[in-house]
Amino acid sequence: MSTIDEARLAASAHQVLREAIDPRLPGLYRGKVRDNYDLPDGRRILVTSDRLSAFDRVLCCVPFKGQVLNGVARWAFEQTADLCPNHVLDYPDPNIVVGRRLQILPVEIVVRGYLAGTTSTSILTQYRAGRRQMYGHSLPDGLVPNQALAAPIITPTSKAADGAHDEPLTEDEILARGLLSPDQWRQVSQTALALFARGQALAAERGLILADTKYEFGVDAEGTLRLADEIHTPDSSRYWRADSYAQRLAAGEAPDSFDKDVIRAWVAERCDPYADEVPEIPPELIWKTALTYVEAHERITGRPFDPPQPAPPVAERVLAALAGFHGG
């Protein structure tokens, strides 16, 4: 049962960070969720906004989302540093992480422990379409939606440019195209499975199921493989409540979710999200999602969520923090 103080959160509900653009900082790159800056000294500033992205587009903004993602990622990086070094150098603001600039590997590594998902690259979508061979794996007939797989599998995709679709890849395709060397693929795949096992174990301690997640890896100037971006957040991962999972699976119902699947499902039920204009998402659904993100932060990390203060506005606070890097 959640113990979050909804009234306290509501006082900061207007605090939404849509973007963090500082024209005085160099190397601006705008992702779907993060606004990034590359400094001349090799550091990268990543500002996590409240934008919610799915289906290769931004759908809306959700209060507290950026702070939740940054906080969960910070905790998860700490919990996995013994398995893989990461890019983190500093956290100058609740929405900002400063990291080493990495050469990002051109393959997105997705690890899946369950037959789940709503996007075109998800194994459930492909399974429902009749496919049994995907990502170099063979799945048996007779599986039901959201059922556990016999063992976690890696389902890599290409890293598409904004507005384009990620494309499924197999190990053979990755090696044949030279996207990764055999040694890189071996290290990345072994590390990803170890990270996923750690994430599942930590989630289980909190009464959660980590159903799937994605990892972004890069190589630093010394050639060391490092985790980049985020890890085990409600955006990069699919979390379910463990206590109701078996009952809902038996009833053919979707698991209670701790991620953006609620909005993804709402959109997917009303249009082709890859081709159609997305209908306006109801404010009450956005607020429900905001509360879910906050609860996810507290459940995943075991740490209380401290909402932004009524003043200054989040955008002003973030821009003030970015001002500290002028000339950096």
| CATH code of the domain covering residue 227 | 3.30.470.20
Domain carrying residue 70: 6-323
pLDDT at 21: 96
CB 130 within 8 Å of CB 123: no
Asked if the structure places residue 79 within a domain, the reply is: yes
Tell the residue number behind the tokens 């980049």, with chain if given. Answer: 228
Q: How many structural domains does the chain have? A: 1
1 located within any domain: no
In a domain, 88, yes or no: yes
Q: Does residue 328 sit within a domain?
A: no
**Contact (Cβ atoms closer than 8 angstroms) between residue 159 and residue 107:** yes
The reply to whether 136 falls in a domain is yes
**What is the per-residue pLDDT for 231?**
98
Residue 38 lies in a domain: yes
Alpha-carbon distance of 91 to 99, in angstroms, equals: 9
Tokens of 115: 């037959």
Full pLDDT tens readout for the chain, 328 residues: 456 788 889 888 888 999 999 999 999 999 999 999 999 999 999 999 999 998 889 999 999 999 999 999 999 999 999 999 999 999 999 999 999 999 999 999 999 999 999 888 899 999 999 999 999 999 999 999 999 999 999 999 998 665 556 789 999 999 999 999 999 999 999 999 999 999 999 999 999 999 999 999 999 999 999 999 999 999 899 999 999 999 999 999 999 987 666 888 899 899 999 899 999 999 999 999 999 999 999 999 999 999 988 778 999 999 999 999 997 5
